[in-house]
Amino acid sequence: MDAGREEGLPTPEVWSSFVRRLEERYGLCEVPRSSLLGSCRPDFLSHALQKRVAFLLPSAVLGELATTHPIVSIASDGESPAVAVPGAVIAAYVGRSLQGPSGGVHGGAIASILDASIGMATNPRSDPDGYVTAQLVVNYRRIVPLGSYVVAIAYVHDREPARRKCYGMSRLVDAGALARTPSIGFSRKPLEAARRDATRERLYADATALFVRQRARRSVGDAEASSQVLAHATQKIRTVRVWNWPAAL
């Protein structure tokens, strides 16, 4: 075992297989942890989720990257038109370092994943003038066992641009079956189905959030830092697929 490697951490092969299952199911792309979002958030989420975190970004982000950075390639699945669904998915492996008093994964870690997923759905890109969390309500439905694969599926369900408000939801589900199964026997579903797939997916927690667009613009210095992060991030992106759930909100 690698020095400093957490006991029970999935091997790179297992993680890759898991991510492939996700890509197949949702038509998503994996972006390396150290890229766009991870670099923007050197915080609890980035650090605590250890090495096996895939940030799966909405197509609005990917489209922009593809335009400005030819290294990013985008391919449609050929079945449905590319739809910029205002959603986002985070896949994560939650290991022993995230143990809470319940014996399972700490609620703060769960809230962080849910928050980040809705934040990604709300912000069309990593925008220095973007939306921030004003309110987050988390319902903890089941204890998340340590060493689980989890997936947060987030989407925006309402926007009030004039009032700078944006409402989102996210569901944190067990992805263990996806991680273990060599092939998955169900096809990509509309967003509506993904919202309430309780029969197939073990729901751990869900959240609703209000995001509010910041009133004041950031300074030019911050904008420059942000673009540097973007440039750095895109160097690490290798292959990308359009996230095109066939249903728009």
Ligand X SMILES: CCCCCCCC(=O)SCCNC(=O)CCNC(=O)[C@H](O)C(C)(C)COP(=O)(O)OP(=O)(O)OC[C@H]1O[C@@H](n2cnc3c(N)ncnc32)[C@H](O)[C@@H]1OP(=O)(O)O
Least distance in angstroms from the C-beta of 54 to ligand X: 15
Compute CA 241 distance to the chain's CA centroid, rounded to the nearest angstrom: 15
Question: Is 163 a binder of ligand X (CB under 6 A)?
Answer: yes
The mark string for 171-210 relative to ligand X (x by CB under 6 A, - otherwise) is: ---------------------------------------x
Least distance in angstroms from the C-beta of 39 to ligand X: 11
The amino acid at residue 159 is R
Question: In residues, how long is the chain?
Answer: 249
The helix/strand/coil state of 69 is: coil
Nearest CA among 68, 62, 70, 66 for reference residue 23: 62
The mark string for 2-41 relative to ligand X (x by CB under 6 A, - otherwise) is: -----------------------------------x--x-
Least distance in angstroms from the C-beta of 84 to ligand X: 15
Question: Is 137 a binder of ligand X (CB under 6 A)?
Answer: no
Q: Which stretches of the chain are DSSP H helices? A: 12-26, 36-40, 44-48, 59-68, 107-122, 176-180, 191-195, 220-236
Between 10 and 86, name the residue whose CB sits nearer to ligand X.
86
Question: Is 215 a binder of ligand X (CB under 6 A)?
Answer: yes
Nearest CA among 44, 63, 61, 62 for reference residue 53: 44
Residues 6+ apart with CB under 8 A from 187: none
Question: Is 165 a binder of ligand X (CB under 6 A)?
Answer: yes
Instruction: List beta partners, residue 209.
Output: 136, 168
Which residues of this chain interact with ligand X, rule CB under 6 A? 37, 40, 115-116, 119-120, 123, 126, 132-135, 163-165, 210, 212, 214-215
